[in-house]
Amino acid sequence: MKEKHSSQDRINRELVLYSFRRCPFAIRARMSIYYSTIKCQIREISLKNKPAEFISLSPKATVPVLLKEDLSVIEESLDIVKWILGQSDPSGLLIPLHDENEDVDYFVSLFDNKFKFHLDRYKYSSRYDVTQKQKHRDSASEILKLIDDKITESGFMYGNKISVYELCILPLVRQFMIADPRWFEEHFKFEKVKKSLQVFTESQAFKVTMKKYDEWIDDKNKIQYFPILE
């Protein structure tokens, strides 16, 4: 006899992404879902009022977190990118991962750690040491030079289209730009990085990724799905 499932069980067996709209790591995860053409539930988390269910699901309590259909959890954004695009990657974003001349993990790790260290102390200098703000801006800029050197004549870091590089790195570069947009426009000297970021943020994929969702508190909330295409 075929086992019957309740509607609630079917809901629980869907992919569920816990996200926060402005977080660069959550942007990375949502972009990968957009490009995978897979649809999932999305739960917008308030970082100032994290739901108990979210914390119990992932004790690290930072977004993004992906709850899979088998109820296992992926807690790191790069792992979400690799897993979701491993299910469906019609645009070939993961191709650089299989190129022996590329080292995607190295570059992403560089930005997730060293670049993010300087970015935080530049963007949120009042929380750290405001006298060191320019020093951290300059250190972050030196890391961005590596990306400027990597961007080809096509305007991308690999081949002639967006790849896992842009997906993972440019949300963090966007944070760098936001820290002081005027300085970035007038004084940041790496023009290929500027252009790459502009193309990225003006894309339909990014616009869909940045749509606003109502905050999720618990299972009583209305189910919301990502992406919503117009």
Compute the mean pLDDT over every residue in the chain, rounded to the nearest whole number: 93
Q: Map out the domains of the chain with their CATH numbers.
A: 7-91+208-226 (3.40.30.10), 95-206 (1.20.1050.10)
- Binning the chain into helix, strand and coil, the percentages to the nearest 5 are 55, 5, 40
- Give the model's pLDDT for residue 177: 98
Phi, psi of 185 (to 5 degrees): -70, -40
Instruction: List helix spans (H) across the chain.
Output: 7-12, 24-36, 52-57, 77-87, 104-110, 116-123, 133-150, 164-179, 181-186, 191-201, 204-209
What does the pLDDT profile of the chain (230 residues) look like in tens digits? Answer: 334 433 344 444 689 999 999 999 999 999 999 999 999 999 999 999 999 999 999 999 999 999 999 999 999 999 999 999 999 999 999 999 999 999 999 999 999 999 999 999 999 999 999 999 999 999 999 999 999 999 999 999 999 999 999 999 999 999 999 999 999 999 999 999 999 999 999 999 999 999 999 999 988 889 999 998 76
* pLDDT, position 229: 79
Indicate the helix (H) or strand (E) that contains 45.
none
How far CA 185 is from CA of 65, 104, 180, 195, in Å, comes to 34, 28, 9, 11
**What pLDDT does residue 98 have?**
96
Express each pLDDT in 109-161 by its tens digit.
999 999 999 999 999 999 999 999 999 999 999 999 999 999 999 999 999 99
pTM, to two decimals: 0.92
Question: In degrees to the nearest 10, what's the CA dihedral of 189, 30, 88, 108?
Answer: 40
Report whether 62 contacts 19 (CB < 8 A). no
Whether residue 59 is preceded by a cis peptide bond, meaning omega within 30 degrees of 0, is: no
Instruction: Report long-range pairs for 113-120 (Cβ below 8 Å, ≥24 apart).
Output: 114/143, 115/140, 115/143, 115/144, 115/172, 116/172, 118/143, 119/172, 119/175, 119/176, 119/179
DSSP of 160-177: TS--HHHHHHHHHHHHHH
Question: What is the Cα–Cα distance from 64 to 58, expressed in whole angstroms?
Answer: 10
